[in-house]
Amino acid sequence: MLLRWNSLVALGDSFTEGMDDPGPGDTYLGWADRLASMIAQNAPGFRYANFAIRGKMLQEIIDEQVPLAISLKPDLVTFCGGGNDILVPNSDPDALAEVYEVAVADLRAAGCDVVIFTGFDTRSTPLLRSLRGKVAIYNAHLWSIAERYHCRMVDLWSMHVLHDRRAWSADRLHLSPEGHQRVALKAAEVLGLTNDQAWSEPWPALVHTDWVTQRKADLKWAREHVVPWIGRQLRGESMGDGLVPKRPELLPFALCAEES
């Protein structure tokens, strides 16, 4: 099956960079690299770049990554942002969506097909359940944007398989390798790629954990991941400070893999 897309640029934050899906060397693999590999199998000469950097806020993604993508004129762009903004107290999902829409309009005006992503349903994550309302409002806007600009949508909210803790890494904010694979398969489905694997395949039965063990795990998680995150926010720091994109050039996918 030959596809009409011969190039892909991925834009975003840690989700698109691929945390916590270890790749070659000190890099991360992630759903975007996995998706690019799937497309490359059906598109000879396929080129790929990934500008995503962990910790980026939506406006930073738009200012730093969107113009670069437009200048390269790729056939396909994946654009996911706003998750870090939603985590900030008093952030406004309506205002975020207005900013997001301008970027989508610019990408579409440049002739790129665009894939966008809803936010995850946070109901299964302690401390983040209170954000469900904001995420839902933001998602509603994103669906409207997708319709207005004829974008393809990867609906992460509806992916119930991601409510399993095995889909997430120890910090409960980033996907595990299996979680990234599920998202890659979902994105591939949205693009019309056929695959022997199914993103919705049920997980094997999970061994039950008693209440005390679960609470100890929650406390450990809060101490090791939540408290440091709050500290960075208070200091105005980001995990991505000083980092550069892992795939900053639109290169044939085979060369991307060799340089990793």
Instruction: Output the pLDDT for position 121.
Output: 95
With 90 as the cut, is the pLDDT of residue 118 above it?
Answer: yes
Strand ranges for the chain from DSSP E: 7-11, 47-50, 76-79, 113-117, 152-154, 247-252
Mean pLDDT for the stretch of residues 125-129: 77
Instruction: Please tell me the distance from the alpha carbon of residue 197 to that of residue 180, in angstroms, as a whole number.
Output: 13
Name all domains of the chain by residue range, CATH numbers in brackets: 7-205+245-259 (3.40.50.1110)
pLDDT, one tens digit per residue, over 215-250 is 676 676 667 666 666 666 666 666 767 889 999 999
Instruction: Output the pLDDT for position 119.
Output: 97
pLDDT, one tens digit per residue, over 140-162 is 999 999 999 999 999 999 999 99
Which three-class secondary structure state does DSSP give residue 27?
coil
Instruction: Please tell me the distance from the alpha carbon of residue 256 to that of residue 48, in angstroms, as a whole number.
Output: 7
Instruction: Output the pLDDT for position 237.
Output: 65
Mean pLDDT for the stretch of residues 162-185: 93
Instruction: Please tell me the distance from the alpha carbon of residue 18 to that of residue 37, in angstroms, as a whole number.
Output: 14
